[in-house]
Amino acid sequence: MDTSNVELINELLDKDVEIREKIKDEVNEFDKKTRTLCGLLNKIHSTRSEQIPSLLNSVRPVLNSCQDTSAALAALIPANQFWRWRDMWTNSLRSAVFAATLMHYLEAGTLLTLPSVSEILGIKDEWNDRFALSAEDYLHGLISLVNELSRLAVNSVTLGNFEEPIKISVFVKDVFAGFAMLNLKNDALRRRYDSLKYDIKKIEEVVYDVSLRKLAPSTKTSDEAQHVAS
Amino acid sequence: MSTTDSLSSRDAILATFDHFRDELDDHNDRRERLIKSSRDITNASKKVIFLLHRIMTEGDTEADDRALALRAAAKARDKLRDIQNMFAAVRGEVVGDRFWRYQKNVSPGLQEYIEALSFAHYLEHENMISYDEVQKTLCAEDGTPHFPLPVEDYLLGLSDLTGELMRFAISSISRRGGRLKASQVCTFVRACRAGQYNSLDLSLCSAIAVRPIFDMGLLSFPCTSFVRLIADVSVDFEGWTPFFRDLRKKQTVTSQSLEKIEDVAYAIAVRSSEYDIPPELLDDIVERTVTSSTYGGTYGGDRKRRRIDDLDGDEE
């Protein structure tokens, strides 16, 4: 091989290594933030519903700080190379999606859309060839959300909140109906999707227990419970 | 949080997921299409490689190896153009940031194409095709690339080339009749003196192994030139192995290819130095050596056979 070619190859490789190192640093930061987020959000299982808003307020600054990471990553990635480096941060990004959607659910009881998650994480549309929130990552985040909610259904009953499991049940079923519309191929998303039914089963059992003992008040919810039980 | 959008009804959620479904379907379909074209490109490239082998080993009528090589390269060029058109057809699928999303799906075909292209290029120019030259073949007429050529695919494609050259070198040796061209050996010697060899051990070894052979004018040019090329590749590539996982594996195969040729070269050197034998007799000896070296005979039978099996396994 002639020297100029060898030099060119080395130059290209050095450039890649440099980018990779820088991304790795940012992703480490990102990881730290999402770990803190998940750690703080773990407290929802032992927090009474009255105190949830104040817990969420204490978590929000951490979530907002993810915006800095998004901006830093978008600045690092060369044009059109989003998919090339994306594997490096998917796990952190999915955790961030999970945290954002969970917080929103606890606050409003509804599903946060993909564009809204992007907005909260400070991901700008014009970065879409460098740093974006893909449908796949968003859906992975949602599955984590459902996993977590099935646990919350159990723990909220322990804390004396008998309505929560029923609300969760309605919400999770809506999300599940959404997932059922997708043509998933045999990949990680498909496997995690398959796990959703166990979460739903667990939530249904809680709803059943609660409604059988007439612990849950409203009539609308007992309709729901009957529907679940049958 | 009040400004953000959320979905409170099942219908709204279903509408969003409808959109996701379209997006995922679009992605999966495109992926399938690209895998298909990649497979087509792999097939077409393999045919080019076989074509080159065929012309180079069957062309006994041709008096001059060089002319033969040029003829082979010219024939291959047409076929390679067809493959380049296949890449041009793929272009629309991998616009902008999409290329890197599907790079893993495109790369098997791309590597095979680079192998075929570099083989033809080697026969024509007797050197290694450069990164820029490969990229140039993957451009539209206006000079814009169909997609950026990944360094990884370039290096892995070249790595495969060494396997082809090994096969080719061995079959060249066993061909009857001296095809030695004084001028070519001369070129080779000059290249040697000019320091084509790195001071690294590997290529030095191959230089030592080859030197006595061309000194005696016994080995035809293509073979010595392959040894040099493979040794070169091996040396350059060694430094790049940390960058790519696959390269290390291929590097092992390259070293094995090199060793096989060296074994053959060694046998020729040793035996012909002992006796003053006529070329025809040498041909017989060489043929025997080649057979045993390829099918795991003579020295350390089992070890040798295992190594050849490994090689076959890796190449598939």
Domain assignments of chain B as residue spans, ordered by start: 17-149, 179-316
Report the helix count and the strand count for chain B, using DSSP H and E.
Answer: 11, 1
A110 closest CB neighbour out of B6, B25, B130 = B6
Strands A111-112 and B6-7: antiparallel
Distances (CA, A) of A204 to A126, A166, A176, A228, A229: 43, 9, 13, 6, 8
- The answer to whether A108 contacts B6, with C-beta atoms less than 8 Å apart, is yes
pLDDT at B272 (0 to 100): 62
Interface check A167 vs B, CB under 8 A: no
Distances (CA, A) of B237 to A63, A175, B94, B244, B257: 45, 51, 29, 10, 14
**pLDDT higher than threshold 60 for residue B231:** no
Residues 229-248 of B with CB under 8 A from A: 232-233, 236, 240, 243
Q: Distance, in angstroms, between B84 CA and closest chain A CA?
A: 22
CATH class of A135-230: mainly alpha
Query: Quick check: B228 and B188 in contact, CB under 8 A?
Result: yes
Residue B240 binned pLDDT confidence (cut-offs 50, 70, 90): low
Query: Quick check: A213 and A165 in contact, CB under 8 A?
Result: no
Chain B CA closest to residue A189:
B24
- ipTM for this prediction: 0.85
Distance between CA B100 and CA A134 in Å, rounded?
14
Interface check B8 vs A, CB under 8 A: yes
| Burial class of residue A50 in the structure, from the number of CB atoms within 10 Å of its CB (0-12 exposed, 13-18 middle, 19+ buried) | exposed
pLDDT at B306 (0 to 100): 42
Interface check B18 vs A, CB under 8 A: yes
Distance between CA B94 and CA B106 in Å, rounded?
10
Tracing tokens 């959703």 back to the chain, one arrives at A196
Interface check A64 vs B, CB under 8 A: no
Residue/partner pairs of A212-218 with CB below 8 Å, 24 or more apart: A215/A157, A215/A162, A216/A162, A216/A163, A216/A165, A216/A166, A217/A162, A217/A163, A218/A163
pLDDT at B183 (0 to 100): 31
Interface check A182 vs B, CB under 8 A: yes
Q: Distance, in angstroms, between B107 CA and closest chain A CA?
A: 13
- The answer to whether A109 contacts B8, with C-beta atoms less than 8 Å apart, is yes
pLDDT at B96 (0 to 100): 87
Residues 127-156 of B with CB under 8 A from A: 127-128, 130-132, 151, 154-155
- The answer to whether B13 contacts A175, with C-beta atoms less than 8 Å apart, is yes
**pLDDT higher than threshold 90 for residue B42:** yes
| Burial class of residue A45 in the structure, from the number of CB atoms within 10 Å of its CB (0-12 exposed, 13-18 middle, 19+ buried) | middle
What pLDDT digit, counting tens, does each position of B109-122 carry? 999 999 999 889 88
Distance between CA B215 and CA A44 in Å, rounded?
82
Cβ contacts of A82 on chain B, cutoff 8 Å: 97, 100
B151 closest CB neighbour out of A9, A107, A178 = A9
- B/e letters for B8-36, b = 16+ CB within 10 Å, e = fewer, are eeeebbbebbeebbeebeebeebbeebbe
**pLDDT higher than threshold 60 for residue A88:** yes
Distance between CA A15 and CA A86 in Å, rounded?
17
B243 closest CB neighbour out of A8, A13, A174 = A13
**Tokens representing residue B289 in the block:** 């050596």
Interface check A75 vs B, CB under 8 A: no
CATH 3.30.930.10 fits B17-149, yes or no: no
Its pTM stands at 0.76
Query: Any idea what DSSP says for residue B143?
Result: S
Phi, psi for residue B306 in degrees, rounded to 5: -60, -40
**pLDDT higher than threshold 90 for residue B171:** no
* Residues ≥6 apart with Cβ < 8 Å to B307: B256, B296
Interface check A68 vs B, CB under 8 A: no
Q: Suggest the residue from B8, B9, B13 to mutate for an interface test with chain A (most A CBs closer than 10 A).
A: B13
The β-bridge partners of A111 are: B7
Tracing tokens 């979460």 back to the chain, one arrives at A199
Interface check A83 vs B, CB under 8 A: yes
**Tokens representing residue A138 in the block:** 């968003």
Task: Say what percent of chain A tops pLDDT 90.
Answer: 80
Give strand ranges (E) for chain B. 6-7
**pLDDT higher than threshold 70 for residue B17:** yes
Phi, psi for residue B146 in degrees, rounded to 5: -65, -40
Interface check A59 vs B, CB under 8 A: no
Is the pLDDT higher at B197 or at B145? B145
Query: Quick check: A159 and A46 in contact, CB under 8 A?
Result: yes
- The answer to whether B130 contacts A184, with C-beta atoms less than 8 Å apart, is no
Interface check B103 vs A, CB under 8 A: yes
What HEC string does chain A produce? CCHHHHHHHHHHHHHHHHHHHHHHHHHHHHHHHHHHHHHHHHHHHHCCHHHHHHHHHHHHHHHHHHHHHHHHHHHHCCCCCHHHHHHHCHHHHHHHHHHHHHHHHHHHCCEECHHHHHHHCCCCHHHCCCCCCCHHHHHHHHHHHHHHHHHHHHHHHHCCCCCHHHHHHHHHHHHHHHHHCCCCCCCHHHHHHHHHHHHHHHHHHHHHHHHHCCCCCCHHHHHHHHHHHC
Cβ contacts of A20 on chain B, cutoff 8 Å: none
Mean pLDDT is lowest, of B9-13, B222-226, B253-257, for B222-226
What pLDDT digit, counting tens, does each position of A163-186 carry? 999 999 999 999 999 999 999 988
What pLDDT digit, counting tens, does each position of B182-213 carry? 233 333 333 333 333 332 233 333 333 343 33
A115 closest CB neighbour out of B5, B98, B131 = B5
Quick count: other Cβ atoms within 10 Å of Cβ B181?
14
What pLDDT digit, counting tens, does each position of A103-153 carry? 999 999 999 999 999 999 999 999 989 999 999 999 999 999 999 999 999
Residue ranges matching CATH 1.20.58.190 in chain A: 1-133
Residue B238 binned pLDDT confidence (cut-offs 50, 70, 90): low
Distance between CA B316 and CA B115 in Å, rounded?
14
Interface check B191 vs A, CB under 8 A: no
Superfamily of domain A1-133 in the CATH hierarchy: Translin; domain 1 (1.20.58.190)
Chain A CA closest to residue B96:
A80
Cβ contacts of B10 on chain A, cutoff 8 Å: 174, 177
